[in-house]
Structure 1
Amino acid sequence: MGLSEVLRPVSRFSSFKRTQIILQHLGMSKHTDSESEVFLERKGCAGVITLNRPKVLNSLNFSMIQQIYSQLKKWEQEPETSLIIIKGVGEKAFCAGGDVKAVSEAGKAKQKLAQDFFREEYMLNCAIGTYQKPYVSFIHGITMGGGVGVSVHGHFRVATEKTVFAMPETAIGFFPDVGGGYFLPRLPGKLGYLLALTGFRLKGRDVQKGGIATHFVDSDKLTMLEKDLLALKSPSKENVAEVLDTYQKKSKIDQDKPFILEEHMDSINSCFSASTVEQIIQNLQEDGSPFALEQLKIIKKMSPTSLKITLRQIMEGSSKSLPEVLIMEYRLSQACLRGYDFYEGIRAVLVDKDQNPKWKPAKLEEITDEFLNDCFKSLGNDDLRF
């Protein structure tokens, strides 16, 4: 089934259903590429990372994460490399996430990959967030989950009219990880809370207007933009920003359209400012607008455990540094692997594809504070360390 067929009837689907379609594709990863899954090349002044698994929307597997991390560390030390560019092969996706199906299988079999995958992935996210050289992501096409993790923490994120951003993890019994606890609460108002709990999708220029991307460029200009960046002579962040600004100024697509959520921001800010998921649900009910009721419908389909973990993750993350957030998220990843809903979410969305997860516990009120505290607890020697 080609992705075009999957995405064509999008208007008929709720965002929950669309999320599941994307997640299905993430689960399709087969390690059959004889070609390299990621290209790491020096071009001009830059180290260029190209994700090369277009058949599975360039989703990240363990080996890609390791290769990118070690190469980034090398490039950081090389005086002749003064810029990093990361992009994906094909028109469909920059990177639709991490290989969650492989992690789920490893977790069930009690294999080490379940610990190692998230440990290495979060170390990569942290390395990008603290990188000493300008780091530019071309987030063209679908950018979700792990794809957000390898882009959003860098200095520059260039969206195009084909960008689709989402963090849909609550639909699979997980939480918006890869530093979601850091960048989501720092978006305007309570926007990040909406994105985290519902998996709401932002597209095109809205990805920039919502604060995820730093720049917006027409997709047919990306090749020229890359050439101009590669031609720079040991550029500073200011030099890179200048080139990106020039391209952005020429872009006219949806230039005057208001941010898709602009008219709903007051409602989002008041409904999502509650400190419990139960109160958010009540606020949405009382708001009663078609928008609020649509979000309510979506939230009610998500894993109750994921919703509770996610809200606390975002609230706590709002005052933590990126490394502190990733340490917290590593603890949460291991809690999800000890639990039930992650495996059930992967089963329903990626394995049996019946789209009908049976969450346990099924009700928010069945999730105790004691259980939540346990999810956030230190893992002692097994904690993530930088």
Structure 2
Amino acid sequence: MGQPYAWRLLSRVSSFRRASVILQHLRMSMHTEAAEVLLERRGCGGVITLNRPKFLNALSLNMIRQIYPQLKTWEQDPDTFLIIIKGAGGKAFCAGGDIKALSEAKKARQNLTQDLFREEYILNNAIASCQKPYVALIDGITMGGGVGLSVHGQFRVATERSLFAMPETGIGLFPDVGGGYFLPRLQGKLGYFLALTGYRLKGRDVHRAGIATHFVDSEKLRVLEEELLALKSPSAEDVAGVLESYHAKSKMDQDKSIIFEEHMDKINSCFSANTVEQIIENLRQDGSPFAIEQMKFSLTKTRLQNGNQPI
């Protein structure tokens, strides 16, 4: 009787161990699926995937703390020739910083806000100074913090699904993530207009405005990515050549009029003032439906900024 009992006991222990191993693998799998950012070394390059599709890939402090050291590692790695960053889910590249997390941290009197902005700006600077070709696939919503992850890189690829905006002033914050650098460098006063109104640019207009360097049909992005990663020891010129070839082949919305072009004269005249108050006065004097719409938006934001401290 003792021997069969012992055998049954050992069998149960063995089954328990197998179950424990299976559960451990399941936990690891769940953890991997839940990772906020995926960092992969593929072919000749490194690939960063923002992996919070349910939250439109909103940028968290945890994501920043994973991306920055990996970016610096790949930059120094002689076998890594380019870096690609993209968003998961098909709806957004990155819709901005995780405002919800900041709000909750503020209520809990935590210093998350200062840490996030400080480290986010350090990452933005690292992208701007990166010595390897940096390719941002800005497919879908690209706002605020998402702009910081892309616009400072050497190459920015927009698609027909791209939706660009700098909506920070709507919550009483200045256009951050280096907005004060790249926005004034856009044509005419377009950057001032985008900064103060949060106006949204869509699709090919993101390229036409000078925010993206190339435009590619969204359905071609996967093939484009694979072709870039298959290059042998590519230079920046090689990467640019591949991007140019895809850009040249894209005919989507090519004949579509530029959404802001019809208003450029008004934008240049009204937003050329040195103060927001004078800009609002210029819009009031213009009196066109476009000017009145922007004036109402600017007045709302001015009240927000005067009545609230930036978060």
Query: Could you tell me how far apart the structure 2 residues matched to 1:78 and 1:199 are?
Result: 39
1:164-313 mapped onto 2 (5 Å cutoff)? 164-304=163-303, 306=305
1:155 matched to 2:154: yes
Query: Could you tell me how far apart the structure 2 residues matched to 1:70 and 1:241 are?
Result: 25
SS at match of 1:178: coil
Cα displacement string for residues 100-130 of structure 1 (whole angstroms, at most 9, x for unaligned residues): 2222333344422121111100000000000
Contact 1:166 1:201 (C-alpha < 8 Å) held by counterparts: yes
Query: Could you tell me how far apart the structure 1 residues matched to 2:108 and 2:53 are?
Result: 28
Partner of 1:10: none
1:325-340 mapped onto 2 (5 Å cutoff)? 340=308
One-letter amino acid of the structure 2 residue matched with residue 242 of structure 1: G
Shift of 1:304: 3.3
Query: Could you tell me how far apart the structure 2 residues matched to 1:238 and 1:288 are?
Result: 48
Cα displacement string for residues 58-92 of structure 1 (whole angstroms, at most 9, x for unaligned residues): 01111000100010010011000010000001111
SS at match of 1:244: helix
Query: Could you tell me how far apart the structure 1 residues matched to 2:240 and 2:258 are?
Result: 23
1:373-384 mapped onto 2 (5 Å cutoff)? none
Query: Could you tell me how far apart the structure 2 residues matched to 1:211 and 1:289 are?
Result: 26
Contact 1:142 1:164 (C-alpha < 8 Å) held by counterparts: yes
Query: Could you tell me how far apart the structure 2 residues matched to 1:34 and 1:51 are?
Result: 12
Contact 2:41 2:47 (C-alpha < 8 Å) held by counterparts: yes
Partner of 1:137: 136
Partner of 1:362: none
Contact 2:170 2:304 (C-alpha < 8 Å) held by counterparts: no
Shift of 1:303: 4.2
Aligned residues: 281
Cα displacement string for residues 316-336 of structure 1 (whole angstroms, at most 9, x for unaligned residues): xxxxxxxxxxxxxxxxxxxxx
Q: Which moved more, 1:286-295 or 1:276-285?
A: 286-295
Cα displacement string for residues 192-241 of structure 1 (whole angstroms, at most 9, x for unaligned residues): 11111110000000000011100000000001100110011121111111
Partner of 2:80: 81
1:45 matched to 2:44: yes
One-letter amino acid of the structure 2 residue matched with residue 219 of structure 1: S
Structure 1 gap segments, 5+ residues each: 1-31, 309-338, 344-386
Shift of 1:341: 4.5
SS at match of 2:136: strand
* Percent identity between the two aligned chains: 69
Contact 1:206 1:260 (C-alpha < 8 Å) held by counterparts: yes
One-letter amino acid of the structure 1 residue matched with residue 118 of structure 2: R
Higher relative contact order (CA 8 A, sep 6+): 1
One-letter amino acid of the structure 2 residue matched with residue 220 of structure 1: E
One-letter amino acid of the structure 1 residue matched with residue 100 of structure 2: K
Contact 1:45 1:233 (C-alpha < 8 Å) held by counterparts: yes
SS at match of 2:301: coil
Structure 2 gap segments, 5+ residues each: 1-30
Shift of 1:340: 3.4
Query: Could you tell me how far apart the structure 2 residues matched to 1:149 and 1:94 are?
Result: 11
SS at match of 1:294: helix
TM-score (structure 1 length as normaliser): 0.70
One-letter amino acid of the structure 2 residue matched with residue 145 of structure 1: G
TM superposition outliers: structure 1 runs of 4+ over 6 Å = none
Contact 2:37 2:49 (C-alpha < 8 Å) held by counterparts: yes
Query: Could you tell me how far apart the structure 2 residues matched to 1:264 and 1:130 are?
Result: 34
Query: Could you tell me how far apart the structure 2 residues matched to 1:298 and 1:261 are?
Result: 17
SS at match of 1:147: helix
1:50-129 mapped onto 2 (5 Å cutoff)? 50-129=49-128
Query: Could you tell me how far apart the structure 1 residues matched to 2:292 and 2:105 are?
Result: 38
Query: Could you tell me how far apart the structure 1 residues matched to 2:33 and 2:266 are?
Result: 50
TM-score (structure 2 length as normaliser): 0.87
Shift of 1:263: 1.4
SS at match of 2:39: strand
SS at match of 1:295: helix
Contact 2:45 2:84 (C-alpha < 8 Å) held by counterparts: yes
Shift of 1:187: 0.7
RMSD: 1.6
Contact 1:303 1:341 (C-alpha < 8 Å) held by counterparts: no
One-letter amino acid of the structure 2 residue matched with residue 83 of structure 1: L
Contact 1:210 1:259 (C-alpha < 8 Å) held by counterparts: no
